Structure 1
């Protein structure tokens, strides 16, 4: 084995970082040749082979600092001036390129990762790369990212065509960034989305229940639930979709039960009319995890209960 000095090895490592950085700078097609891979991998291995952890600690710090430098010089400036959909689109691109860069570097530092980083530091180099992005990018821009995603969902709710694939990618970033830590980024976002949805449909239902007939009201509830279920299914996980439908059920039906009973009575609807209303929404799944409850089932039980109380 040909030993090299630390300073000499760090120069070689710098070469690897500079080329890997080009991926984040907009050249994701950057490839390392077999010769380059062997050169960088052998350099790290040789430096780590020296007895003691001195070189290993230096290399570990070099790895982290190089990632931080790339983030500060390239990632953050690319995101700083962008808002709304442009911010989300750039975030998805930067995260994808950053992960690709980190995977290449982790391959070069495989020996360090196996015998020092995971063992002595408690975290792998892959986890370190995510930590750097989380601390320097995601946590700094979190409020803007969340606001931009909520804004897109609101726009789609009002009939605008949005890039649902991009929104799905943003949700995946929330999940990846929050993996193995105590901060539930995705769950927090979903809760914010549910709160906004509750406020939106509470206001909407208050208008409908005054101006619409019972039949028209139920048809609108049916339509909203089907639309929300279809839209949310493109970017939320199934459990979150269920929670969203339950929010709609609460705001559009549970919270308006007495008003709906009053409307039924004021319109002198016959039992036949009522059954016709139920049949129009009998096929819509309400998202119950442990039952086959439909809108018709829920409305029938709810109206019966509310009529008794009333």
Structure 2
């Protein structure tokens, strides 16, 4: 490649590379680059940056981010905005997978920036910039819809419906992956939404069970509910989230109903010894929670109760 290449010529070559990687998020993740193409794009960036006084490094760094923004706005967002519920989650997982493939190719072409320009100026890496771009443009507008779709799937499974557990696992994995980048913790946000929905679900269930079940039956159903929740949550949640989830279930079914359970004990002539024996069957409800988890659960359930009282 001509080392005396003009800036305009170099930018045209970069645009060519960006247009080709765009095909990956447009539904062609198998898009390949020949050795000649790879060398062409990589050498173009190198030659343009080999003139530090020309300011081309900053120009290319901006070009990289602008290229991602344009691709997300023109290809990623339209495909997501048109979807709802489980279809939105599937498209979200699909788009994120293709987006990462595309970014890997672009990062190879712009490797010079990651190796020299970015460390020298204390900028975020190309990979971090790509995640930030995705968060700013996709999550800012769709995070709530994605959270609602995910919590809806969880509730469907609670009611005995078959769901795509792998899909739910993939969605949660993306939230965690993005959070590890130092971006706003979207996983914590969806976790809190999920815990709030869990609190609502088991608050309603406890009211129903207390009306018609004996103390023994109630405790047995509590135990069954928690075992079922753990089995389901282990498939798609981080272990720390599983602990919080089970704490919410116990808090709603047992802790908040302690007085009512004592009343049942008395009305059913169940001795204190029998009552303690029944509760001991729920020894598995000690999940090894720490104080921060307990505080979160109590705060969450308190907020939920206050909201219910207001309405």
How far apart are the structure 2 equivalents of 1:288 and 1:121?
Answer: 41
Contact 1:9/1:47 (CA < 8 Å) preserved in 2? yes
What's 1:109 paired with? 110
Superposed counterparts of 1:120-135, under 5 Å: 120=121, 122-135=123-136
Cα RMSD between the aligned structures? 1.9
1:139 lines up with 2:144 in the alignment: no
What's 1:211 paired with? 212
What's 2:298 paired with? none
TM-score, normalised to structure 1's length? 0.87
How far apart are the structure 2 equivalents of 1:174 and 1:162?
Answer: 19
What's 1:32 paired with? 33
TM-score, normalised to structure 2's length? 0.87
What's 2:232 paired with? 231
What's 1:5 paired with? 6
How far apart are the structure 2 equivalents of 1:287 and 1:53?
Answer: 61
Q: List gaps (5 residues or longer) in structure 1.
A: 291-310
How far apart are the structure 1 equivalents of 2:52 and 2:228?
Answer: 64
Structure 1 residue 271: deviation in Å? 6.5
State how many pairs are aligned.
289
How far apart are the structure 2 equivalents of 1:279 and 1:121?
Answer: 57
Decide which moves more: 198-207 or 175-184. 175-184
What's 1:298 paired with? none
What's 2:245 paired with? 244
How far apart are the structure 2 equivalents of 1:19 and 1:65?
Answer: 15
Instruction: Specify the SS of the correspondent of 2:53.
Output: coil
What's 1:302 paired with? none
How far apart are the structure 1 equivalents of 2:270 and 2:285?
Answer: 25
Instruction: Specify the SS of the correspondent of 2:52.
Output: coil
Structure 1 residue 176: deviation in Å? 2.5
Structure 1 residue 260: deviation in Å? 1.2
Q: Deviations for 1:256-275, whole angstroms, at most 9, x for unmatched residues?
A: 11211221222123567547
Q: Deviations for 1:238-281, whole angstroms, at most 9, x for unmatched residues?
A: 11100111111111111111211221222123567547635654
Contact 2:203/2:253 (CA < 8 Å) preserved in 1? yes
What's 1:20 paired with? 21
Decide which moves more: 221-230 or 108-117. 108-117
How far apart are the structure 1 equivalents of 2:282 and 2:58?
Answer: 65
What's 1:287 paired with? 287
Structure 1 residue 285: deviation in Å? 4.3
Contact 1:249/1:286 (CA < 8 Å) preserved in 2? no
What's 2:257 paired with? 256
Q: Deviations for 1:150-171, whole angstroms, at most 9, x for unmatched residues?
A: 1111111111111111111111
How far apart are the structure 2 equivalents of 1:44 and 1:24?
Answer: 23
Contact 1:37/1:108 (CA < 8 Å) preserved in 2? yes
Decide which moves more: 261-270 or 164-173. 261-270
Question: In 2 relative to 1, CA 182–105 (structure 1 residues): closer, same or farther, beyond 3 Å?
Answer: closer
What's 2:296 paired with? none
How far apart are the structure 2 equivalents of 1:254 and 1:53?
Answer: 68
Superposed counterparts of 1:163-242, under 5 Å: 163-181=164-182, 183-242=184-243
How far apart are the structure 1 equivalents of 2:54 and 2:128?
Answer: 20
How far apart are the structure 1 equivalents of 2:121 and 2:272?
Answer: 73
How far apart are the structure 2 equivalents of 1:128 and 1:258?
Answer: 53
